[in-house]
Amino acid sequence: MVSTDSATPDDNGRVCENFHSAIELIGRRWSGAIIAAMLGGAQRACHIREAIPGLSDRLLTERLRELEDEGIVVRSVTDDRPPAVHYELTERGRALENVFSSLEQWSAEWSAAKASA
């Protein structure tokens, strides 16, 4: 039986399907960095791109659409002239804050341990 509430493999060595889907989504190239850049609040695409060196407009647009399709990000367009497009994390997206905080802490510890080795 496949585990539905744990990231650890079940008795048959299988990882929970839900966990696998989630880790694939945020682990896709640039997706995690985009979410991390957005944790500060609503942002325009140019602000997200500036926060992530090496991210192209095409990939940013593609990833934002994927995150929007998954309910992680919401896109809104203002009635201003010219119109402005803003992206912000949904409640589901903001729920990732603790995950990213833990990952940031782990990466700092891992980097320090690697540097001292």
| Residue range 45-78, pLDDT digits in tens | 999 999 999 999 999 999 999 999 999 999 999 9
22: helix, coil or strand?
Answer: helix
7 belongs to a structural domain: no
Number of structural domains found in the chain? 1
Say what angle helices 17-27 and 31-38 make with each other, to 10 degrees.
80
- pLDDT confidence bin for 15, thresholds 50/70/90: confident
For residue 60, the domain's CATH number is 1.10.10.10
**Each residue of 69-105: pLDDT tens digit?**
999 999 999 998 999 999 999 999 999 999 999 999 9
Beta strands, E only, 3-84: 73-77
- Chain centre distance of CA 25: 8
10 belongs to a structural domain: no
